[in-house]
Structures are given as structure tokens and as C-alpha cells.
Structure 1
């Protein structure tokens, strides 16, 4: 750039710096930058507290606009873009409030499991919490994708919480929706995932709840009965006629169960019963007779249980980390994301 050869000019040159100043507005250009960073820069002051800055260095380049709105209590608010070549290559857009960046969209050059170039794509929301009276920046939400896997998770107190991700089960990557162990970010402690063609719900306890019908300040919570098999049941009350009865199962129960795994419980409804027994059982139903050639005419309760078709090989004891879900870890070059996991592992 050449300065005017004659007459008054608002442009001045001082060493490397070329400056234009007009009242509260200014442009400052440094084409070489100083040691040790040697960053060339262009700074434009549009008005007091409204600045655009562009910087170009040997391994990184960024541009940012910041201002100090009246309702921000003297704090800067800014947006910008940043490209870094070394040691980690990435490009990002960001939003900044005062000294902290609270929103980052970044793509990072990352080697995949086959040592081929790939890209980690991340969108991270951070937020401000307080440790006593001290403001701290903590992780809020992470949306990321890498090598064919995408995930989104929220953080609670800077720790990973709920997640839509992928998990390894039996050396197969499967979709997973659930929650992290708050004390161990490498462990998923509840959720739903796919195992082969089956969807699996895993949790420490399974509940249903309802509003308390007599007390609006309370709820009623029941827990599921657990067992080492994937079973179904049907139950009811039937009537002996001359000491015998046939109980047909519902069609849907017949379609659901493997009849070879069936067990039956019977409870007579008469104190004078000789006892009752199942003499026939199939997917269609069961036949019951009174013992000792009894000819009783009374009611009895029955319950049939059987393993569901297709779930005969259900495993109650599994190898941890192989047959149980392990979260797929997506690499990140954002410090807060790594810190959220590292301090828990």
C-alpha cells in the first residue's frame, strides 16, 4: 500500500504498522506481525466498542467481530472463525461472551481406525455455572459425528448424562439411547439398544407410575418382577365340572410362547378339594382334573408361564464389556469435551 504523496492524509505508517484514524474510527494493518508469532493482522474499529480483527499467522488464521452492548454490563460479545493447521488441524466457528467461548462448531482432521484421514464434526454448547461465587464454564450439549457414527448427549454439572449414540455389543456397533453412569463415563447404565433383530431395554429397575387417585401431591410407582428369562404369562379363574375342566389360552398367548417351556400353577377354590393336576398342556390350552377320581364342582385359579418364541437362548450372565453395551467414543479436539470424560474414567 502506498501513502498519498502530498497533502494531509489520515493514513500514517510507523514501522510495519499502517494506520488510518478518524475520530473514533480506525484501521490498523500489520502485514508482518512481530516475533515470536509473526501474525499479520488487520483491525477495524467501526466505533467505540465495535471491533473487527483479522489475523494470519504461520499455522493459524482467525477473524472475529466483538462489541460491548449496553445491556451486557460492559462485557464483550463476539462471533468469529478460526482455522488452525498445527499441531491439530481444524476449522471452527464460535460465539464468545466476555472471556469465554460458549458455542463451537468445529471440524477436525482425524485418523480413523484404519489410519485413514477422516473428519470429526462437532457442535458444542457450553454454559456458565457457579462454584460458590466463582463463575465457571461447563459443558452443556455435544453433537458430534465421526467415521459413520453420530451422537448427541447432554451434560449435568459438566458430566455426560443422557445420550443418543452407538454402542459396541458382541463386537458389533449398534444404535443406543440411554444414560451414562454419573461416576464412570465409559459405562452405560440404562437405555434401549438393538441386539441382532431385537430391541433391548436395559435398566437397574423398570417401573410404571400413575397419579395417586386420592392424593394429588403423590404418585404411585411399581417395579417390574425380574427373572433369568424372557417369559410371558396368562392367568385366570376357571370352573371344575364333575372334576374336570379345559382352559383355552387366548390366541395372542398361543402366538407368543414356546409351549415346550410352559409351567402351570393351580390353586383350588374349595377346602374340600382332593387336589387338582394338569393332565394335558399345549399352545392351545391346559386340561385339569381333580385327584383321587374326584368329581368336584368348584372354581380354581390358574397361571401359565412360558418363554417367548425367539428368546429361548436368553443369557442371564454376560461378559462385561463384550456382551454388554460399551459406548463408542468419538474423538474430540475440544478440551471441555475430553475433560468431561477423562475426569470420570
Structure 2
């Protein structure tokens, strides 16, 4: 004899037990947040599971849908909900330290701070070139930490020659031994990031190919944040662009080593087209990404690499 199992139906058909009325909206909101907090940032809860937990259909209620969509402590990425813990930091450096220590600190994520100034901390880190932020300055979304962070400031012992019109520094060997990609160099009380590979500018098809080969070469072994050579390039022009050809302000690789980025900040449309043409001629598959309101180009893995 077949036996009707009402429990199975109740678990898989919430509409049969929900009539659209919610007695206490605030209680449901509190329970949603409490459940997500208990699950932690590493475990997502599906919206269907949360419906069963709170005893109502969240997406069918405008107020609840607005709540999960706009509360900064909740990441609503249909069909899942996830808790976003607050970052307790008093300074931007504390904020950065917390990001580095979090498992989601190096990938696309949304961050919030318990301090009212936390939004300003994030903007400051984006402007300093430490964090890749979303296009919208008001957004709390970060794409990742950039570049590979060893430390932000490096003290150099030795001498280095700054070529004003070429945006690069020629260092003595004892200085270059202390420099890694991701460090910062102080010149006349200004901070310059060491974000670029020590390859000759202006950018060319040859240099693009060599960067791509270097990325592949180092991927399975040594970290890309290796010791740089005697010549490094600044992350912004020092006293003018100078030189001929296409001025690329910065180039380097992101945390996953698979992404080559080219920062053509404030360049004309023609120069951007020239860069795209050179990328195409170098047989690198690229798409366009926007990082801190600058046009950049993302190197995609080719099938045979």
C-alpha cells in the first residue's frame, strides 16, 4: 500500500504551508541575519533553505527582499545568501591588515567596516594602489589585493638614479637586491609603487610576448614577486611622460599570476586603440576591465598555455 509522505511535500513545497502573511517582519530579519552569522562567511545558505528556516518566502515579500538586497552585512547572490563580517579597524593600515588575513581578501568580495570611517579607508587603499576596487567609488566591493603584498614600504640602502623623462629608476645592485614588486619607493617625499616588470618601455609587441612568456614560466615555480633587476619603472610618470610611442603608466600581474594588466591612464582614444592593436598582434587574448577608474586590459589564458 502506498503511503503519502506529507513531510517530503512540506520540505519541497513551501507555498503549501505559507499563506503570504508575516506576523513579525523584524523577527524574520533578525533570524535571517543570526542564521547567516552562525553559518559564517565561508558557508552560503540558499534562499530556499532560508525560507524553510524562517517559515516564509523571502523573495515574495518586498520588505524582506529589500532587506537582504541592501543590508551591507548580507551578500545576496541568487540563489544564495552569505554573511559578510565587519572589519574592525581604526586606520586604513589596520583595515588592510584585516583584509590580508581574511581568506576572501584576495578575490572579488564586498567588505564593510564597523568604524564609520571604514568606507574612507577602502577608498584610501584603492587610491594608494594597494587594493583593486570597483568602478564606483561609493562601492564596498573589492576585486582583490594588488599586487602581491610583501610590505608597503621598503627602506633602501644605496643609490638610485631617477630618469625624470622616462619614468624609471636605475639602481645599484645592492639597492635592487632589496626591492620586490609590490614595494614602494620614496622620491622627494612622494611614494612610487614598484608595480612593473623590469622590461623596456615603451610597450611593444615583443615586450608583451615576453611578459606573457614570463608569466607562464613563473606560474608553476617561483613567485612573480621576485627580485627586480637594476631598472624598474614607476607607477606614475615622474616629472612628465617623456619618450616616444605609447606611454603605459603601469603594467604587471595580479595575484593569480595569470592576469597581465596594462594601465593606460588618461590616454587618448587613439592610444588606447594602439594598445589594443599591439595586444592583438602579440597573440594574447584580452578583454577590458575597469580598475580604480582606469582603463586596463586583462590577459586571458589561451587554450594551449
TM-score (norm 2): 0.23
Where relative contact order (Cα < 8 A, 6+ residues apart) is larger, the structure is: 2
Name the structure with the higher strand share: 1
More helix by share: 2
